[in-house]
Amino acid sequence: MEMNWKAAIDSIPILNKAALLTLELTAGAVAIGVVIGLFMALARLSKTKITRAIAIGYIDFFRGTPLLVQIFLVYFLVPRLFHWETLPDNYQYFAGVLAMGLNSGAYIAEIFRAGIQSIDRGQTEAARSLGMTQNQAMRYVILPQAFKRVIPPLGNEFIALLKDSSLLSIIAIQELFYSGKIIAGRTFQPIPMYISVALYYLLMTQLISQWVAYMERRLGKNDLR
């Protein structure tokens, strides 16, 4: 089969739209993951056994099972939980972002936990000696320092989730990989199309890496002031 790059070039507007949707889905999932991850990290470090057990169970489940299985579970389980007889419009997008967000939350929880535990205990003791409560010390002293340290692994999680978003094609979300697969099937040019899709992913991951590096440098300069 002769490769025809014209099909890939003509598909650039479609791939651009699909790449933008991929970024939006990933950003939404990371936003959910950061919120869940922060709470789960704090719960993981809690002195209450029940709270700690819930956090450990959540983290172990979502880190120990495939994202593809989790996507199917969320997609089919949510309508059962809410007794929906018909699915809302664009339900697959909601289910996809939620599944990726829940998965990301487990990994981000461990990232935050490691970041919090990397802060010297003397910081907490100093804050308590100034009259702060444990919660105030965590909010105003520990978390701001921990956040700066977890930016690189958070960036890696963003990149990993961006690539894993291709799994959403299984529930017919027209993200980058799904769009490329449809075009490849229509034009009978799989090699040019999948190379184009790979280049789009490479470009997006490089942009995220550059942004993470910029944030590291900026926060590093703030520490020197």
Domains and CATH numbers, the chain: 5-224 (1.10.3720.10)
pLDDT of residue 144: 86
pLDDT of residue 53: 97
Long-range contacts of 11-19 (CB under 8 A, 24+ apart): 11/183, 11/187, 11/193, 11/196, 14/179, 14/183, 15/176, 15/179, 15/180, 15/183, 15/196, 15/197, 15/200, 17/179, 18/174, 18/175, 18/176, 18/178, 18/179, 18/180, 19/176, 19/200, 19/204
Closest CA to 67 of 22, 36, 34, 29: 29
pLDDT in tens, the chain (225 residues): 567 788 888 999 999 999 999 999 999 999 999 999 999 999 999 989 999 999 999 999 999 999 999 999 999 999 999 888 888 888 999 999 999 999 999 999 999 999 999 888 888 778 777 788 878 888 888 888 888 889 999 999 999 999 999 999 999 899 999 999 999 999 888 999 999 999 999 999 999 999 988 888 887 655 545
* Residue 112 token pair: 């935050």
Q: How far is it, in rounded angstroms, from Cα 96 to Cα 215?
A: 28
Closest CA to 101 of 80, 76, 74, 82: 74
pLDDT of residue 224: 45
* Residue 183 token pair: 């075009």
DSSP-assigned states of every residue in 73-129: HHHHHHHHHTT-SSPPTTHHHHHHHHHHHHHHHHHHHHHHHHHHHTS-HHHHHHHHH
pLDDT of residue 223: 56
